[in-house]
């Protein structure tokens, strides 16, 4: 799930309130390239009437063979004083810095396409932490250039579209190794939308990838089965989640009919317990 610390629409307290309403009992924040909200999230869910379990999480944008991939890192409790956590945390900070450095390049492309935008117009939708294409999309909506975030991706910002940039990323190998050394279980996020097939999955596993996100709102039942089979064959853990960004189409808080709800896509208890056990085991040796 994502909050205003990255490209979600809801703040941490607003998201937690929604989780409370939906009776969710376990969930993890996985903002893009930051763990900023995780402590506040832990504090807030502890106040919910239902019992609630959470980990620390982050969704990292990484590069692999000139393609962008998203890798989730889950921690039972990060050991913030450890050199391994520091190294991992520094790498995330570098990723956030690169995001900011790329913003003028997107704006140049959009300007050339006849859609001028000032940096400040984009940054008003972003937190101090991370800026990304969804924030650019929201600024484009505000100017009337596009009708929705999806429209902005479909016509301009999505892979291969006129304002798409293959940004510089840390490699998948580097980020998987850094996260694992700091005690994480890493999982390949939404593998189907990234079109990741067996061979690439095997490569990522050779770097230390420990899980695959078999359950995701973009996966139909056959796709889930395919990734469960890969997980079984490659001895991977299974993860899953709603990838909830606030359930809105326009980035302004209008709830989208049929959008994934928090808690709408999750793990079976045995997969969840295997994940939790492994997180605890890794925390003990990190
Ligand atoms: P960036 O962080 O700049 O790489 O932007 C990628 C993020 O934009 C993804 O993590 C999603 O949250 C969001 N996104 C990607 N594709 C779409 C789309 N077609 N419509 C809406 N949001 C999208
Ligand atoms: Zn993602």
The alpha carbon of 133 and the centre of ligand 1 are apart by a number of angstroms equal to: 6
Q: What's residue 122's pLDDT?
A: 96
* pLDDT > 60? residue 193: yes
Q: Any idea what DSSP says for residue 135?
A: H
Other beta carbons within 10 angstroms of residue 55's beta carbon come to: 24
The 10s digit of each residue's pLDDT in 43-102 is 999 999 999 999 999 999 999 998 999 999 999 999 999 999 999 999 999 999 999 999
Q: What is the Å distance from ligand 2's center to 49 Cα?
A: 30
Ligand nearest to the CA of 3: 1
Distance CA 111, CA 145 (A): 12
Verify whether ligand 1 is closer than 6 Å to residue 204 (CB atom).
no
**Ligand 1, atom nearest to 2 Cα:** 12
Q: What is the CA radius of gyration of the chain?
A: 18
Mention every residue, 6+ apart, whose C-beta is less than 8 A from residue 200.
64, 65
Coil, strand or helix at 67: strand
With a 6 A CB cut-off, is 141 part of the ligand 1 pocket? Answer: no
**Any alpha helices (H) in 191-238, and if so which ranges?**
198-207, 221-233
Partners of 26 in beta bridges: 53
The residue whose CA is least distant from atom 2 of ligand 1 is 132
Q: Is any ligand 1 atom within 6 A of the Cβ of residue 251?
A: no
> String of b and e for 168-183 (b: at least 16 CB within 10 Å)?
ebbebbebbbbbbbbb
- Identify the band that residue 207 occupies on the pLDDT scale cut at 50, 70 and 90: very high
d(CA 155, CA 204): 31
> pTM of the entire structure?
0.94
Report residue 85 as tokens.
């956590």
**Looking at the CA of 30, which ligand is closest?**
2
Q: Is the CB of 231 within 6 Å of ligand 1?
A: no
Is residue 73 in contact with ligand 1, taking CB distance under 6 Å?
A: no
Strands (DSSP E) found in the chain = 56-64, 67-75, 185-188, 211-215, 237-240
Whether 32 lines ligand 1, by a CB cut-off of 6 Å, is: yes
Which pLDDT does position 62 carry in this prediction?
A: 97
- Residue 34 CA to ligand 2 center (angstroms) comes to 13
Q: Is 135 in the pocket of ligand 1 (CB under 6 A)?
A: no
Residue nearest to atom 11 of ligand 1 (CA): 134
Residues 6+ apart with CB under 8 A from 58: 30, 31, 32, 33, 34, 35, 72, 73, 92
Average pLDDT over residues 145-149: 92
What is the CB-side half-sphere exposure of residue 257 using CA atoms within 13 A?
A: 0
pLDDT of residue 263: 74
Q: Is 133 in the pocket of ligand 1 (CB under 6 A)?
A: yes
**Pocket probe mutation, ligand 1, options 68, 134, 151, max atoms within 8 Å of Cβ:** 134
Say if residues 117 and 143 touch (Cβ distance below 8 Å): yes
80 is written with which tokens? 């913030």
- For the Cβ of 6 lying below 6 angstroms from any atom of ligand 1, the answer is no
Question: Is residue 248 very low, low, confident or very high in pLDDT (cuts 50, 70, 90)?
Answer: low
* Among 63, 51, 68, 38, residue whose Cα is nearest residue 184: 38
């Amino acid at each position: 799930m994502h909050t205003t610390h990255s490209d979600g629409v809801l703040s941490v307290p607003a998201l937690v309130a929604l989780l409370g309403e939906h009776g969710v009992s376990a969930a993890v924040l996985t903002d893009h390239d930051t763990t900023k909200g995780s402590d506040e999230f832990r504090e807030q869910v502890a106040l919910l009437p239902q019992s609630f379990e959470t980990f620390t999480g982050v969704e990292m944008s990484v590069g692999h063979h000139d393609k962008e991939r998203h890798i989730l890192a889950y921690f039972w409790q990060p050991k913030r004083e450890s050199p391994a956590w520091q190294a991992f945390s520094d790498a995330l900070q570098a990723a956030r810095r690169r995001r900011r450095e790329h913003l003028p390049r997107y704006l140049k492309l959009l300007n050339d396409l006849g859609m001028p935008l000032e940096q400040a117009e984009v940054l008003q939708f972003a937190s101090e932490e991370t800026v990304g294409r969804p924030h650019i999309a929201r600024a484009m909506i505000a100017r009337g250039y596009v009708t929705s975030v999806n429209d902005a991706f479909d016509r301009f910002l999505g892979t291969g579209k006129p304002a798409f940039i293959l940004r510089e990323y840390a490699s998948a190998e580097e980020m998987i190794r850094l996260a694992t050394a700091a005690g994480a279980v890493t999982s390949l996020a939404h593998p189907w939308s990234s079109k990741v097939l067996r061979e690439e999955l095997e490569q990522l596993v050779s770097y230390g990838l420990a899980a695959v996100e078999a359950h995701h709102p973009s996966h139909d039942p056959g796709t889930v089965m395919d990734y469960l089979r890969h997980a079984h064959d490659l001895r991977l853990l299974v993860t899953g989640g709603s990838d909830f960004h606030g359930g809105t189409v326009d980035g302004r808080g209008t709830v989208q009919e049929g959008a994934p709800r928090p808690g709408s896509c999750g793990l079976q208890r045995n997969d969840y317990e295997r994940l939790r056990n492994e997180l605890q085991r890794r925390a003990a040796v990190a």
